């Protein structure tokens, strides 16, 4: 688990398959899930940060559509 900058909890999963790593980020409050892929030899913290940023972007877009 990781904390998003907004203070929300984010669940992270990193799966490495061959030369690629897939990172899933889930917001437990809304059930929103995103995935990103990157090179398996990339720094894990960089991949996780990118996934959290994408999740925040998707959550923001979702809130804007509801407004």
Can you give the residue ranges of every domain in the chain? 2-66
15-65 tens-digit pLDDT? 999 999 999 999 999 999 999 999 999 999 999 999 999 999 999 999 999
pTM: 0.87
pLDDT at residue 5, as a whole number: 54
31 Cβ partners below 8 Å, 6+ apart?
Answer: none
CA distance 48 to 50: 5
pLDDT at residue 8, as a whole number: 81
């Amino acid at each position: 688990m990781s904390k998003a900058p907004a203070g929300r909890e984010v669940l992270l999963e990193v799966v490495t398959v061959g030369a690629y790593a897939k990172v899933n980020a889930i917001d437990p409050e809304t059930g929103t899930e995103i995935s990103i892929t990157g090179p398996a030899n990339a720094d894990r913290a960089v991949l996780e940060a990118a996934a959290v940023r994408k999740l925040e972007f998707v959550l923001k877009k979702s809130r804007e559509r509801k407004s």
